[in-house]
Amino acid sequence: SLPAVEPGALAGRHVVVTSGPTHEAIDPVRYIANRSSGKQGHAIAAAAAIAGARVTLICGPVMLPDPPGCDVIHVESARDMLAAVEQALPADVFVGAAAVADWRVEAATQKIKKEQGAEAPSFALVENPDILASVARAQNRPRLVVGFAAETTNVIAHAREKLARKGCDLIVANDVSEGSGVFGGDENEAHLVSPIGVESWPRLRKEAVAERLVARLAEILNEKEA
């Protein structure tokens, strides 16, 4: 019943996908992370490869195997992810599915030790680069730049604001509030938010969301070229 991806729908295209969390080092043994599993981003990379694209998947630390048919680059931090994305361009499509850490700390080069009677350390957070916004504004901007918006309230409104602020063509928005089971789970309920409107999909397995998204991306690319 699902719209299967036409084989060859993305033949000749280069698709760059980011997936997973990033890890931001505090010191050589500690880091800041988030709960992203990478399941949705990896499924998108796999579906794009099945559709015939050359796929570069740039992923943070995940517990998943590399999807078949993709060139996979493993990174840790947001800054490493940005550098790998810049290396991977040019591309026809960029899909930013990674849960990039918004902030990092100025990492210590040695393990931070507990000193007898000393206060607990505190850390000043520094903002990370915005990979999606940077790709959307690059000289060699991909024709199609797609972001994600994981929200816990006002999903569509926040997605519209992100679409405008980051200068991308499409935002895949979803509700990740507690109880939705989306973060780390196998299913996703996606809303495709573009400047012309919103297309809401039912709750589907992440693989099915990936297939539908890849089919839509192929359509949009073809429309742009028509």
Q: Which stretch binds Ca ion (CB under 5 A): 71-79, 102-110, 135-143, 193-201?
A: 102-110
> Residue 143 and residue 37: Cα distance in Å, rounded?
28
The residues, ordered by sequence, that sit 6+ positions from 113 with a Cβ below 8 Å of its Cβ are none
Which residue is associated with the tokens 């070229």?
A: 225
34 flagged as catalytic:
yes
Gap between the Cα atoms of 219 and 155, Å rounded: 25
Which positions lie near ligand CTP, rule CB under 6 A? 18, 78, 96, 98, 100, 102, 128, 130-132, 147-150, 162
**Ligand-binding site membership of 131 (annotated):** yes
* Residue 166 among known ligand-binding residues: yes
Give the span between the Cα atoms of 215 and 127, in whole angstroms: 35
Please report whether residue 161 would count as binding Ca ion according to CB under 5 A: no
* Coil, helix or strand at residue 110: coil
Site string for Ca ion, 50-89 (x = CB under 5 A): ----------------------------------------
Q: Which is nearer to Ca ion, 102 or 161 (CB)?
A: 102
Contacts of 122 (CB under 8 A, 6+ apart): none
The three-class DSSP label of residue 167 is: coil
Nearer to ligand CTP, 150 or 215 (CB): 150
Rg (CA), the chain: 18
Residue 150 contact among ligand CTP, Ca ion, none, beta carbon within 5 to 8 Å by kind: ligand CTP
Interacting residue with Ca ion among 71, 102, 161, 187 (CB under 5 A): 102
Binding-site residues for CTP sit at 102, 111, 129-132, 148, 162, 166
